[in-house]
Amino acid sequence: MKSLVRGLAWVVVPVELVLVVCLLAGASLPADVLVGAEAVALVLLAVEGVGLALVYRRGGRAAVRDVVPEPVRRIVGHELRVLGSLALWVARRRHGVREGDLAFGHARDQASMLYGFVFVCMVETIGMAVLLRNWPAVHAVMLVVDVYTVILMLGIHAASVTRPHVLTEDALRVRQGAHRDLRIPLERIAAVRGERRFTHEAADGVIDLPVGSQTSLTLELTEPVTAVGFLGKRRPVTTVRLHADEPERLLSALRQARTAPSPSPAPPA
Q: Which of 116-120, 178-182, 232-236, 261-265 has the lowest mean pLDDT?
A: 261-265
Q: How far apart are CA 244 and CA 251, in angstroms?
A: 10
pLDDT at residue 184 is higher than 90: yes
pLDDT category of residue 85 using cuts at 50, 70 and 90: very high
pLDDT at residue 260 is higher than 90: no
pLDDT at 26: 47
| pLDDT, mean of residues 125-147 | 83
pLDDT at 174: 96
pLDDT category of residue 218 using cuts at 50, 70 and 90: very high
Q: Tell me the pLDDT of the chain averaged across its residues.
A: 80
Burial of 223 (0-12, 13-18, 19+ CB in 10 A): exposed
pLDDT at 130: 85
- Helix, strand or coil, per DSSP, at residue 24: helix
More confident residue, 45 or 179: 179
Phi, psi of 92 (to 5 degrees): 55, 45
Phi, psi of 164 (to 5 degrees): -75, 170
Nearest residue to 37 (alpha-carbon basis) of 19, 20, 13: 19
249 contacts 218 by C-beta, under 8 angstroms: no
260 contacts 186 by C-beta, under 8 angstroms: no
More confident residue, 268 or 253: 253
94 contacts 162 by C-beta, under 8 angstroms: yes
236 contacts 224 by C-beta, under 8 angstroms: yes
pLDDT at 226: 95
Q: Which of 5-19, 146-160, 172-186 has the lowest mean pLDDT?
A: 5-19
* Residue pLDDT, tens place only, 26-66: 455 555 555 555 555 555 556 556 666 666 676 666 666 66
| pLDDT, mean of residues 102-112 | 93
Question: How many helical (H) and strand (E) elements, i.e. helices and strands, does the chain have?
Answer: 6, 8
Q: How far apart are CA 260 and CA 254, in angstroms?
A: 10
More confident residue, 212 or 184: 184
pLDDT at residue 137 is higher than 60: yes
Q: How far apart are CA 260 and CA 169, in angstroms?
A: 10
- Helix, strand or coil, per DSSP, at residue 104: strand
